[in-house]
Amino acid sequence: MAKYTLADVKALREATGAGMMDVKNALVEAEGNFDEAMKIIRMKGLKSLSKREGREASAGLIVASVSDDNRVGIMVEVNSETDFVAKNDKFIGFANEVLAAAVASKAADLEALMAAPSGEETVQDLVDAMGAQIGEKVVVSRVARVEGDYVGLYLHQTSADLPAQIGVLVATDEKGEKVARDIAMHIAVFKPRWLHKDVIPSEVIDTERETLTAITLNEGKPEHIVPKIVEGRLSAFYKENTLLEQDYAKDPSVSVGKVLDSEGSTVSEFVRFQVGA
């Protein structure tokens, strides 16, 4: 029988992110040799890559960075199957390698990122190797690149024992530097879908208007006043879903748009990622 201790099991599990039984079986097969057990886990993982394709990777983390001149922000979502893996130092290090590749390659879409170089490999190679090592499905699900005169970044941990689960990049002009991070924090909490109502797709507005019309008619309102009521309710929809019309998190007596106006600033773009959402 292989000689290994509970400390060996714990160390190997933390090093690889693999499941308890996988770790024990690898130690048995390796006759207690830690390095050999690491190789076994990785090789077995490589053989089972195809088996993991249909599994769901809804845990994970958000990593992001802003350039030294604060003009470019890059954000990446990397997913695993379990929180246990997501908070593993090795997985976090892997996610930061992916981020570094995104920054260096200036990748603005997922296809470009997966083909981007990382050392002598590509990001896709990193993903395959990490999945093989931990025995879980690993996915780089999205990447965003935001540019502006000033880019603010906010990363939020929804739980103290997990890495960032929410990330926001917001692009302002130079006068927005003072409030950019606060607005990014607002976006993290209030989840605006669009910057302002003029950029909402017309089909979304049409669908919302139809829904509100049906609701209003079902309430028994006279038909001749229904359009006016619907437009009022559409205004509430805009206020709830557009950044500039939302009540500002730090001072709900004013809108985000008013806060920007007071600074003589504007927001040109924002991106919000939440793990699994």
pLDDT tens-digit profile of 29-83? 888 888 888 888 776 665 554 455 556 778 999 999 999 999 999 999 999 999 9
Classify domain 201-241 by CATH number: 1.10.286
Q: What is the pLDDT of residue 75?
A: 98
Using CB atoms within 10 A of its CB, is residue 274 exposed (0-12), middle (13-18) or buried (19+)? Answer: middle
Q: Model confidence over 172-202: pLDDT tens digits?
A: 999 999 999 999 999 999 999 999 999 999 9
Q: What is the DSSP letter of 116?
A: S
Q: What is the pLDDT of residue 46?
A: 53
* Of 165 and 3, more confident: 165
The β-bridge relationship of strands 247-248 and 251-255 is antiparallel
For range 221-233, the mean pLDDT: 93
Fold identical between 59-191+251-274 and 201-241?
A: no
Q: What is the pLDDT of residue 45?
A: 64
Q: Model confidence over 50-64: pLDDT tens digits?
A: 455 556 778 999 999
Right CATH for 6-47 from 1.10.8.10, 1.10.3720.10, 3.40.50.1820, 3.40.50.720: 1.10.8.10
Q: What is the pLDDT of residue 52?
A: 52
Check if the beta carbon of residue 128 is closer than 8 Å to that of residue 119: no
Strand partners, 63: 76
Question: Which position has the token pair 């690889």?
Answer: 16
Q: What is the pLDDT of residue 131?
A: 87
* Of 131 and 192, more confident: 192
Domain boundaries in the chain? 6-47, 59-191+251-274, 201-241
Q: For residue 8, what pLDDT band results from cuts at 50, 70 and 90? A: confident
Q: What is the pLDDT of residue 240?
A: 96
Q: What is the pLDDT of residue 54?
A: 57
Q: Model confidence over 155-165: pLDDT tens digits?
A: 999 999 999 99
Q: What is the pLDDT of residue 242?
A: 98
Task: List the structure tokens of 16.
Answer: 């690889």
CATH class entry, domain 59-191+251-274 = alpha beta
Kind and range of the H or E run holding 94? helix 89-105
Using CB atoms within 10 A of its CB, is residue 203 exposed (0-12), middle (13-18) or buried (19+)? Answer: exposed
